Structure 1
Amino acid sequence: MGLLTLGSPLSWEETKKHADHVRKHGILQFLNIYNKVKDRQKDVLKWGDEVEYMLVHVDHKEQKAQVLLSGVEVLDILQDKGEKTNPNHPTLWRPEYASYMIEGTPGQPYGGAMSDFNTVEANMKKRRREASSVLKDSETVITITSFPRLGCPGFTFPKFEPKPIEKGASKSFFFPDEAIHKHPRFCTLTRNIRHRRGEKVAINVPIFKDKNTPSPFIERFPFNDVEATRAALPDHIYMDAMGFGMGNCCLQVTFQACSISEARYLYDQLATICPIVMALSAASPFYRGYISDIDCRWGVISASVDDRTREERGLEPLKNSKYQINKSRYDSIDSYLSVCGEKYNDIDLTIDEEINKQLLDAGIDKLLAQHIAHLFIRDPLQLFEEKINLDDANESDHFENIQSTNWQTMRFKPPPPNSDIGWRVEFRPMEVQLTDFENSAYVVFVVLLTRVILSYKLDFLIPLSKVDENMKVAQKRNAVHEGLFYFRKDIFKGCNPVADGCATAQNGLDGDTEEYTLMSIDTIINGKEGVFDGLIKILNCYLENMEVDVETRCTILKYLKLIKMRASGELMTMARWMREFVAKHPEYKQDSVVTDRINYDFIVTCDEIAKGTRRCPELIGEPVSRA
């Protein structure tokens, strides 16, 4: 989840006093890193995936499933058995925001060999087996994006009650602090976001209106709470804690580029793909025991960490705050980084002018300077007493403090100080899938797409405002089949990157309406005659021109088939499958409620499908095992 530091966390008031210090030294740390490695070239392609897992307790006698709050203990065992025993262990385990979550990655990054695609699923299966091996018979590990009854009474095991009136990190009506990981970073983030904002976060998700859903749907809250009553919207599911967003699971991929210019080019190109892949991976239609009218978690997480004050949100005139800020710190990117993308930067960018000037004076180009100056309009959300005064030449904690709490669809990552790691980009919008086969398919699809982008010098760029519109469409119910997305018509014609960056782009957006048009996901992925060839066809063309062994080719084609069939509607997205599961359940009353029994049956079914003891051809087809 970003920077993890041990120490004595400061309160928000104490952190606020040091905010300018963190920003000042964060910029110095960035400049030191940049000046050391700006000319670094020929780093080999490396990449790796991150899968977030949810621990669940299943009581078959009571027919109840709850999130299992043993992430700390499970993590300790996995690390003791793994990397602490063998530094070359094939898996790595890390904490996540919730105490029922863990994160698993490959022990070593994958490289540029096409044959590495053969090992992705095997490594994911190993991670699942490792995690499962340290659990009891009544416990399991699953990869679902959002636990359907998160925030409902008794949703944790052991059971804890929320304490909204008492002193605590979230003061939530629904999400007890015990469900937050014990590492001081997570509770500190939760508390300081609330304090900085001046009130609890407010998440409102439109409810899915079924035959017997009350209309209007209005919730009542304990103690006639004024804040909750004011924040909750009619016909929406209301949530009030960071855990409702950061307590969801996702799937991410990080790439090391050969140089800073290649990283910037890849960052821009993949940014336009984010909403497409998010809609394709949609897997989170349920919140707080209700069926929502959205299929993806992105807006929920965005609201769950929105620390902007009322002034920054434009609800009151600026008085105590410095800027009006258009987005939460968890959102889509706000500017392209390559010269190719400069003419498509049509979003108003709020930047710290002093930091921007400092960067420009230090020799940083305009696009990278404004990117960093935009990130640094944010305050640090957590600071440890032991980490205030640092060696800027050899440490980067202050830079990462701001960088790692700007959670955007793409993240541009400078190398850590004094390391052999290169310039990287992180692809962040995907929802985690139920099986290792599905997660491998999405990872391989994105990684293969990066190879094609770099090999064919593809150009997916469109105005960034259109990418933002695509992000909104991607989260809607059944967007993968009903949504229309702005997409570039000719991806082979445009601003081609050259060795030292990108060719000079023309200013303005002349003819921009001819460059892109509205397309369905099916057209974007599978193509439509006279409109667009489709990404699958381009990937297949790339494979045909590469020397790929039969085994690797079969593996890749198996994964691409899943992506193709999800896009065409021959296979369901996870979100659609979840909706149909509940709709067909004998206990469902067409009232948009996911009861304890429905949730139990859903979790048991998910567990059986993930373990391969139950077939689910409508979701994953009939995947052929490599064995």
Structure 2
Amino acid sequence: MGLLSEGSPLSWKETKKWADTVRNQGILQFINLYHKLKNRQNDVLKWGDEVEYMIIKFDHDRKIAQVSLRASDVLDYMHQKEKENPSEVRSLWHPEFGAYMVEATPSKPYGGLTSHFNIVEANMQARREEIKEALVAGESLMCLTSFPRLGCEDFTDPPTKPNPHKGALCSLFFPDEAVYGNHPRFKTLARNIRERRGKKVIINIPIYKDANTRSPFVEDLTSLGDDGQGAKAALPDHIYMDAMGFGMGCCCLQVTFQACNIRESRVLYDQLAPICPIMMALSAASPVQRGYLSERDCRWDIVSASVDDRTNQELGFEPLVDDRFRINKSRYDTIDSYLSPEGEKFNDLDVVYDRDVYQQLRDAGIDHLLAQHVAHLFIRDPISLFSEKLHLNNEEDTDHFENIQSTNWQSMRFKPPPPNSSIGWRVEFRPMEVQLTEFENAAFVVFVVLLTRVILSYQLNFLIPVSKVDENHKEAQKKDAVRGSTFWFRRDVMTCDSPPEAACMKCKASDQSEYMKMTINEIINGKDSGFPGLVPLIKKFLSSVDVDVDTQCTIQQYLGLMQRRASGELMTTARWIREYIHNHPMYRQDSVVSQQINYDLLNTADKIQTGDLLCPELLGSFQSKTKDDIPNAIQKAENCYDHVNSGGQLEDCYSHLNCVEGES
């Protein structure tokens, strides 16, 4: 969601005047915050998920599914409920870019008790129950990464028309009305990104070439009002898109963790970075863009291009005259460097950073790696400023720092504590696509959180060169990457500090490279040549921890889903969508996802997510334990929350890498 400052948004021309001030003040704010909190210790594990949803309107008579532009009404209703009954709030609702999107998080963070893994799914399902009251007839809250016909004619309810010559987006396909309008941040971002770069964003995704797909695939955009800019930007055999909405209008699943101190947060940031493309491939869920089947299964490059505000000078197309840097990546992209001392030797990319900012940070006593990281973030301009937030107290406020930080959307985010709060140093895991069901989303979340505990407890080392992580991100987006691609991964993840029972699984091929290419199946489930596999490592860790039978059963189901997805026995969401379309009687092998196909696909997906239709291709025989007993599951969640926030949980939490000793 990012920083949601209130106030009057500035135009790009006005924002540009204040850019240096915001950067200068933002660095001072970070320096002050760092020195106040650099020695903060002993924070316990707290964590939470963020699920983004779409509101879909079904017209069952006309066989049409559209995005419903009622997010503001729905959020107003949910926020009013929060004010009226704060003690009953179990989840918090937030706006997102699309006027058809909402985001929800648990109202309180989860903690270090293993029993908390058993309430994630219940909380997610409680969100669905809570929001039902705010929906109108025909509407459904759906976990969709990408609406298949986003940008097609008649894709919104109520009807809207794009205006390629006026407004924030100036898109041929995406109307301004489809952007959330109750907060000015979103349209301001879209407008300022377009104006800063000097033209509309350009998104080209390879089209899937089926038997009857036009070859070459080229669209005539003149009927949509194209002035020639679109025709010039669109590549043959690609699906062309031209607005921020095509990226930021997608949904994702994210997890944020609190570390016990700054050192641990930097370790988790580094160790999870090579896991990002693996989890992106496993969660792949967006093979259709603007009504066409594509050659990609993930949204990542689409989002990256949709917020790419680099000018021709920054892209290297023109000499640097007005701009300061040649910038290699979009604002939304993979990380460029590791932050821990152990990761420094794997920082093989040429990191572009502001030398003056870097020196200012170094002079302030901040180490090289963290100073480089922040100075790299600050090569960007602020792109969304509010007049009421220009003059701040740098000793107390961090809004200028967060302005830059929150508009660098990277695969991992290193998050300093907010000023004057009880929150500690955190990291955010950002690459995953949202899944159809709460069971799947909970499985992905629990897997990532458990992996952080294994990394810290076993002192694992997943580090590979950052350039190889970038290669993996490209590979992870390809069609059916889980079954058809290989990924760079470390051969020997154990260290000299790993416990003997874990170290006994070490790969003995010490005379070979530190990393090699593996399949997703080998990375998750292990391979005969000595690589243990992430799930077996998690299971070994769990065998040394006191876990109640009920929670153990839940975790085993989640891990089983991950294992069978990795092996290809169960489909990714993207593969399921592809096969559904290919098998639809109205599909003409021409890559086109028609209105009828879209309706049938989403109607089927809606039945799967509510449990009215079984889908063994996606879920196997795994079934949610909470879907038929939500009230009891919610009460169990409340009981655990009460324990976590009672102050007596410190001995039971994963603090200082310790395992859980007891349960509530």
Q: What TM-score, normalized by structure 2, do the two folds share?
A: 0.91
- Of stretches 25-34 and 427-436 in structure 1, the one that deviates more from structure 2 is 25-34
The one of 462, 480, 494 aligned to 2:464? 462
The one of 475, 479, 482 aligned to 2:481? 479
Where 1:536 maps in the other structure, the secondary structure is helix
Where 1:54 maps in the other structure, the secondary structure is strand
Structure 1 CA distance for aligned equivalents of residues 246 and 558 of structure 2: 31
Give the aligned residue type for 2:2: G
Unaligned runs of 5+ in 1: 498-510
Cα RMSD of the aligned pairs, angstroms, is: 1.3
CA contact (8 A) 1:340 1:496 kept: no
CA contact (8 A) 1:459 1:494 kept: no
Give the aligned residue type for 1:609: I
Which residue number corresponds to residue 502 of structure 1?
A: none
Which residue number corresponds to residue 427 of structure 1?
A: 429
Deviations 1:406-425 (A, max 9, x none): 00000000001111100000
Deviations 1:424-465 (A, max 9, x none): 000000000000000000000000000100100100000100
CA contact (8 A) 2:458 2:497 kept: no
Which residue number corresponds to residue 117 of structure 2?
A: 117
CA contact (8 A) 1:485 1:520 kept: yes
Give the aligned residue type for 1:249: C
- Seen in structure 2, the aligned counterparts of structure 1 residues 531 and 520 have a Cα distance that, compared at 3 Å, is farther
Which residue number corresponds to residue 392 of structure 1?
A: 394
Which residue number corresponds to residue 58 of structure 2?
A: 58
- The total of aligned residue pairs comes to 613
Give the aligned residue type for 1:54: M
Structure 2 CA distance for aligned equivalents of residues 173 and 545 of structure 1: 57
Structure 2 CA distance for aligned equivalents of residues 180 and 624 of structure 1: 36
Where 2:539 maps in the other structure, the secondary structure is helix
Structure 2 CA distance for aligned equivalents of residues 559 and 570 of structure 1: 15
How far apart are residue 132 of structure 1 and its match? Answer: 2.2
Give the aligned residue type for 1:596: Q
Which residue number corresponds to residue 221 of structure 1?
A: 221
- Seen in structure 2, the aligned counterparts of structure 1 residues 50 and 597 have a Cα distance that, compared at 3 Å, is same
Where 1:48 maps in the other structure, the secondary structure is strand
Where 1:430 maps in the other structure, the secondary structure is strand
Which residue number corresponds to residue 552 of structure 2?
A: 553
Where 1:57 maps in the other structure, the secondary structure is strand
How far apart are residue 219 of structure 1 and its match? Answer: 1.1
Which residue number corresponds to residue 141 of structure 1?
A: 141
- Seen in structure 2, the aligned counterparts of structure 1 residues 342 and 123 have a Cα distance that, compared at 3 Å, is same
How far apart are residue 185 of structure 1 and its match? Answer: 0.3
Where 1:56 maps in the other structure, the secondary structure is strand
Unaligned runs of 5+ in 2: 500-509, 627-664
CA contact (8 A) 1:460 1:487 kept: yes
Deviations 1:492-528 (A, max 9, x none): 036889xxxxxxxxxxxxx996110000000000111
Which residue number corresponds to residue 47 of structure 1?
A: 47
Structure 2 CA distance for aligned equivalents of residues 575 and 132 of structure 1: 27
Which residue number corresponds to residue 251 of structure 1?
A: 253
Structure 1 CA distance for aligned equivalents of residues 398 and 345 of structure 2: 32
Which residue number corresponds to residue 591 of structure 1?
A: 590
How far apart are residue 85 of structure 1 and its match? Answer: 2.6
The one of 411, 414, 417 aligned to 2:416? 414
How far apart are residue 137 of structure 1 and its match? Answer: 2.0
How far apart are residue 87 of structure 1 and its match? Answer: 5.2
CA contact (8 A) 2:16 2:381 kept: yes
CA contact (8 A) 1:149 1:288 kept: yes
Which residue number corresponds to residue 313 of structure 1?
A: 315
The one of 259, 269, 276 aligned to 1:274? 276
Structure 2 CA distance for aligned equivalents of residues 353 and 527 of structure 1: 43
- Seen in structure 2, the aligned counterparts of structure 1 residues 125 and 549 have a Cα distance that, compared at 3 Å, is same
Where 1:148 maps in the other structure, the secondary structure is coil
How far apart are residue 84 of structure 1 and its match? Answer: 5.1
Give the aligned residue type for 1:200: K
Where 2:366 maps in the other structure, the secondary structure is coil
Give the aligned residue type for 2:5: T
Where 2:431 maps in the other structure, the secondary structure is coil
Which residue number corresponds to residue 34 of structure 2?
A: 34
Deviations 1:327-371 (A, max 9, x none): 001000001000010000000000100100000000000000000
Q: Residue 23 in 1 paired to residue 42 in 2?
A: no
CA contact (8 A) 1:88 1:107 kept: no
Which residue number corresponds to residue 574 of structure 1?
A: 573
Give the aligned residue type for 1:581: Y
Give the aligned residue type for 2:193: I
Give the aligned residue type for 2:176: D
Which residue number corresponds to residue 564 of structure 2?
A: 565
Where 1:429 maps in the other structure, the secondary structure is strand
Structure 2 CA distance for aligned equivalents of residues 199 and 407 of structure 1: 21
- Seen in structure 2, the aligned counterparts of structure 1 residues 23 and 494 have a Cα distance that, compared at 3 Å, is farther
Deviations 1:145-198 (A, max 9, x none): 0000000011000000001122x0000000000000111000000000000000
Which residue number corresponds to residue 80 of structure 2?
A: 80
Where 1:136 maps in the other structure, the secondary structure is coil
Q: Residue 538 in 1 paired to residue 540 in 2?
A: no
CA contact (8 A) 1:250 1:430 kept: yes
- Of stretches 77-86 and 284-293 in structure 1, the one that deviates more from structure 2 is 77-86
Give the aligned residue type for 2:545: M
CA contact (8 A) 1:467 1:486 kept: yes
Where 1:53 maps in the other structure, the secondary structure is strand
How far apart are residue 88 of structure 1 and its match? Answer: 5.9
Where 2:86 maps in the other structure, the secondary structure is coil
Structure 2 CA distance for aligned equivalents of residues 595 and 626 of structure 1: 36
Deviations 1:273-300 (A, max 9, x none): 0000000000000000000000000000
- Seen in structure 2, the aligned counterparts of structure 1 residues 512 and 460 have a Cα distance that, compared at 3 Å, is farther
How far apart are residue 624 of structure 1 and its match? Answer: 3.4
Report sequence identity in percent.
Answer: 62
Structure 1 CA distance for aligned equivalents of residues 30 and 443 of structure 2: 35
CA contact (8 A) 1:459 1:495 kept: no
Deviations 1:18-64 (A, max 9, x none): 00000000001111111111000000100000000000110001100
How far apart are residue 377 of structure 1 and its match? Answer: 0.2
- Of stretches 172-181 and 126-135 in structure 1, the one that deviates more from structure 2 is 126-135
Q: What TM-score, normalized by structure 1, do the two folds share?
A: 0.96
Deviations 1:299-323 (A, max 9, x none): 0000000000011111122122110
- Seen in structure 2, the aligned counterparts of structure 1 residues 540 and 389 have a Cα distance that, compared at 3 Å, is same
The one of 377, 387, 397 aligned to 1:375? 377
Which residue number corresponds to residue 657 of structure 2?
A: none
How far apart are residue 225 of structure 1 and its match? Answer: 2.3
Give the aligned residue type for 1:204: N
What are the within-5 Å matches in structure 2 for residues 291-330 of structure 1? 291-330=293-332
Which residue number corresponds to residue 89 of structure 1?
A: 89
Q: Residue 612 in 1 paired to residue 614 in 2?
A: no
Structure 2 CA distance for aligned equivalents of residues 227 and 201 of structure 1: 11
Give the aligned residue type for 1:17: K
Structure 2 CA distance for aligned equivalents of residues 363 and 385 of structure 1: 32
Where 2:589 maps in the other structure, the secondary structure is coil
- Seen in structure 2, the aligned counterparts of structure 1 residues 64 and 512 have a Cα distance that, compared at 3 Å, is farther
Give the aligned residue type for 1:330: Y
Which residue number corresponds to residue 649 of structure 2?
A: none
Give the aligned residue type for 1:95: P
Deviations 1:522-567 (A, max 9, x none): 0000111014111111011001111111111111000000000000
How far apart are residue 472 of structure 1 and its match? Answer: 0.4
Structure 2 CA distance for aligned equivalents of residues 255 and 404 of structure 1: 17
Structure 1 CA distance for aligned equivalents of residues 512 and 430 of structure 2: 28
Where 1:218 maps in the other structure, the secondary structure is coil
Which residue number corresponds to residue 641 of structure 2?
A: none
CA contact (8 A) 2:439 2:623 kept: no
Give the aligned residue type for 2:9: P
CA contact (8 A) 2:164 2:226 kept: no
- Seen in structure 2, the aligned counterparts of structure 1 residues 550 and 24 have a Cα distance that, compared at 3 Å, is same
What are the within-5 Å matches in structure 2 for residues 346-357 of structure 1? 346-357=348-359
Where 1:244 maps in the other structure, the secondary structure is helix
Give the aligned residue type for 1:455: S
Which residue number corresponds to residue 518 of structure 1?
A: 517
What are the within-5 Å matches in structure 2 for residues 180-191 of structure 1? 180-182=179-181, 183-191=183-191
How far apart are residue 6 of structure 1 and its match? Answer: 1.3
Which residue number corresponds to residue 341 of structure 1?
A: 343
Structure 2 CA distance for aligned equivalents of residues 322 and 188 of structure 1: 23
Structure 2 CA distance for aligned equivalents of residues 440 and 133 of structure 1: 23
Where 1:427 maps in the other structure, the secondary structure is strand
